[in-house]
Amino acid sequence: MITWLLSPIGRWLAAAGGVVLAILTIYGKGRRDAKQSIEAKNNADILDRTQKAVAAGDSVSRDPSRVREDDGYRRD
């Protein structure tokens, strides 16, 4: 095995294997980083929407005396 790796063709194959391994490692890291970035953006969007919904809900008047107040919409 060692003599085969030390032969000229073995060295070329080992070098080519190393290059392919390096390319696949870089590709995999890029994919992982992209996935984490997308997930972080989605989480930030969900948190922002939730906070806006809570703020909108807090601004609603819950005074029971205003239930029968005219809202200006004509109903039959």
Q: Are the C-beta atoms of residues 10 and 4 closer than 8 Å to each other?
A: yes
In degrees, to the nearest 5, what angle opens at C-alpha 27 toward C-alphas 19 and 20?
A: 15
Percentage of the chain surpassing pLDDT 70? 97
Judged against a pLDDT cut of 80, whether residue 67 lies above it is answered with no
pLDDT tens string 32-44 = 999 999 999 999 9
Mean pLDDT of the chain: 88
Distance of CA 7 to the CA centre of its chain: 47
CB 21 within 8 A of CB 15: no
Distance CA 33, CA 40 (A): 10
Looking at residue 36, its pLDDT comes to: 97
Tell me the pTM: 0.56
Asked if residue 76 has pLDDT above 70, the reply is no
* Domain residue extents for the chain: 28-55
CB 44 within 8 A of CB 52: no
